[in-house]
């Protein structure tokens, strides 16, 4: 009996976990290399739309995710005077769940562990060999029938493969923080909604994660020295959005500022080395689809390779042809939201384009029933 095929993965984030779990479900062995000494997620809150929920169902993480996640009844925009400028009810066939990043990570990690994924922590990967090996900082080579770079925006695996890239850094970026929710935080609207508060200089995306935790994504021009400061300069933000001052004042000293950026690749694979997640298609978080696209493409990769049998190269080509158009679309629209400040004037002109990804039925989830 032939030995099972094996995949080596650099990066233990959402893309790496989804890739490993999906391959294990198809009879492969899988090992994840994580640079950090422990497996955990960094950051604040996160969105998972219907497309991502379908993938989580297939991977075995759905039930744990929806337990203690928040499902907003609506998404609205409000201006600097706290007047409503847009409102969208979220219907039952296209849900949007919000949660802390650690909640999503814990559910996906548990699913990977149940599937039998192997983990190697404190294992830094610095390169990949297209013939099928990851190369560690310790000088070791980790051989695989397929090797995967899921090592983030500044992927060392991507750099080592020499893939032609087009990188764009936008004029704006974001500060992400978690703060306690108050029982009477918003009097003018439903506090369970996800709300974009637009002001001329700054924007706050108000995102309930649980009954007790609120995620705020604070959009600011990258050259705004006062407002990009960490710890957050509460005075500046309170002056711009005074009706949120009681929430802003709860922000602690933690948090970080990140530029919005997008990287487009000529190809997402070289030989038997492939890139997934932020290594392959980072995008601004304006559509809430960074994690959704990452786990969709990870599952799609496993399906394509499984369908191709022994011809891994053919499977990778088929995967790119099938998944790349929607990935490119999602990157493009997320960038348009930054450039145009879509939603700040109450316009719905981008809504159909934005919802295309959320309503998509990902490869490998066609028979999913919730």
Q: To the nearest whole number, what is the mean pLDDT of the chain?
A: 94
Q: What is the pLDDT of residue 353?
A: 77
Q: How confident is the model at residue 281 (pLDDT cuts 50, 70, 90)?
A: very high
Q: What is the pLDDT of residue 354?
A: 79
How would you label 73-104 residue by residue, b for 16+ Cβ within 10 Å and e otherwise? Answer: eebbbbbbebeebbeeebeeeebbbbbbbbbb
DSSP characters for 192-261?
TSEEEEE-SS-EEEEEE-SSSEEEEEEEEETT-TTTT-SS--HHHHHHHSGGGHHHHTT--S--EEEEEE
Q: What is the pLDDT of residue 3?
A: 81
Range with lowest mean pLDDT among 31-35, 155-159, 295-299, 337-341? 337-341
Q: What is the pLDDT of residue 342?
A: 59
Q: How confident is the model at residue 338 (pLDDT cuts 50, 70, 90)?
A: confident
Q: What is the pLDDT of residue 37?
A: 93
| 349/142 Cα distance (integer angstroms) | 48
Q: What is the pLDDT of residue 1?
A: 57
Range with lowest mean pLDDT among 47-56, 201-210, 263-272, 349-358? 349-358
**Mean pLDDT value of segment 38-56:** 93
Query: Residue 122 is encoded by which pair of tokens?
Result: 């404190």
| 32/279 Cα distance (integer angstroms) | 15
Q: By the 8 A CB rule, do 281 and 331 touch?
A: yes
Least Cα distance to 319 among 359, 354, 267, 242 occurs for 267
Q: Where are the domains of the chain?
A: 6-42+101-168+263-346
Render pLDDT for 150-192 as a digit per residue (tens, 0 to 9).
999 999 999 999 999 999 999 999 999 999 999 889 999 999 9
Task: Classify strands 141-143 and 133-136 as parallel, antiparallel or unpaired.
Answer: antiparallel
Render pLDDT for 130-148 as a digit per residue (tens, 0 to 9).
999 999 999 999 999 999 9
Range with lowest mean pLDDT among 34-38, 41-45, 120-124, 160-164? 41-45
Q: What is the pLDDT of residue 348?
A: 59
CATH of 6-42+101-168+263-346, picked from 3.30.460.10, 3.40.1710.10, 3.50.50.60, 3.40.50.300, is 3.50.50.60
Over 80: is that where the pLDDT of 27 sits? Answer: yes
Over 90: is that where the pLDDT of 271 sits? Answer: yes
Torsion, Cα of 63, 68, 70, 73 (10° steps): 80
| 137/37 Cα distance (integer angstroms) | 15
Q: How confident is the model at residue 122 (pLDDT cuts 50, 70, 90)?
A: very high
Q: In this structure, is the dihedral angle defined by the CA atoms of residues 333, 335, 337 and 340, taken in order, positive or negative? A: negative
Q: How confident is the model at residue 344 (pLDDT cuts 50, 70, 90)?
A: low
Over 80: is that where the pLDDT of 219 sits? Answer: yes
Over 60: is that where the pLDDT of 346 sits? Answer: no
């Amino acid at each position: 009996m032939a030995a099972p095929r094996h995949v080596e993965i650099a990066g233990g984030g959402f893309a790496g976990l989804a890739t490993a779990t999906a391959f294990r479900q198809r009879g492969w062995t899988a090992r994840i290399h994580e640079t950090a000494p422990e497996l955990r997620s960094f950051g604040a809150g996160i969105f998972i739309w219907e497309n991502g929920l379908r993938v989580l169902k297939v991977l075995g993480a759905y039930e744990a995710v929806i337990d203690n996640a928040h499902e907003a009844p609506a998404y609205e925009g409000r201006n600097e005077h706290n007047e409503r400028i847009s409102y969208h009810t979220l219907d039952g066939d296209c849900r949007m769940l919000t949660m802390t990043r650690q909640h999503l990570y814990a559910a996906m990690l548990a699913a990977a562990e149940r599937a039998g994924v192997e983990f190697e922590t404190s294992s830094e990967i610095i390169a990949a060999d297209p013939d099928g090996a990851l190369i560690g900082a310790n000088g070791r080579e980790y051989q695989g029938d397929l090797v995967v770079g899921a090592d983030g925006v500044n992927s060392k695996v991507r750099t080592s493969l020499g893939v032609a890239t087009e990188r764009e850094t936008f004029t704006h970026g974001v500060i992400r923080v978690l703060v306690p929710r108050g029982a009477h935080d918003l009097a003018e609207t439903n506090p369970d909604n996800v709300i974009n508060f637009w002001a001329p200089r700054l924007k706050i995306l108000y995102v309930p994660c649980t009954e007790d935790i609120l995620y705020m994504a604070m959009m600011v021009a990258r050259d705004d020295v006062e407002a990009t400061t960490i710890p957050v300069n509460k005075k500046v933000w309170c002056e711009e959005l005074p009706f949120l001052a009681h929430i802003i004042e709860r922000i602690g000293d933690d948090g970080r500022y990140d530029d919005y950026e997008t990287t487009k690749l000529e190809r997402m694979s070289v030989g038997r080395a492939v890139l997934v997640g932020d290594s392959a298609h980072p995008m601004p978080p304006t559509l809430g689809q960074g994690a959704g696209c990452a786990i969709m493409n990870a599952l799609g990769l496993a399906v394509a390779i499984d369908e191709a049998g022994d011809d891994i190269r053919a499977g990778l080509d088929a995967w790119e042809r099938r998944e790349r158009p929607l990935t490119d679309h999602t990157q493009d629209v997320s960038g348009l939201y930054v450039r145009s400040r879509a939603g700040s004037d109450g316009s719905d002109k981008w809504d159909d384009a934005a919802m295309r990804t959320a309503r998509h039925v990902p490869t490998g989830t066609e028979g999913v029933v919730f």
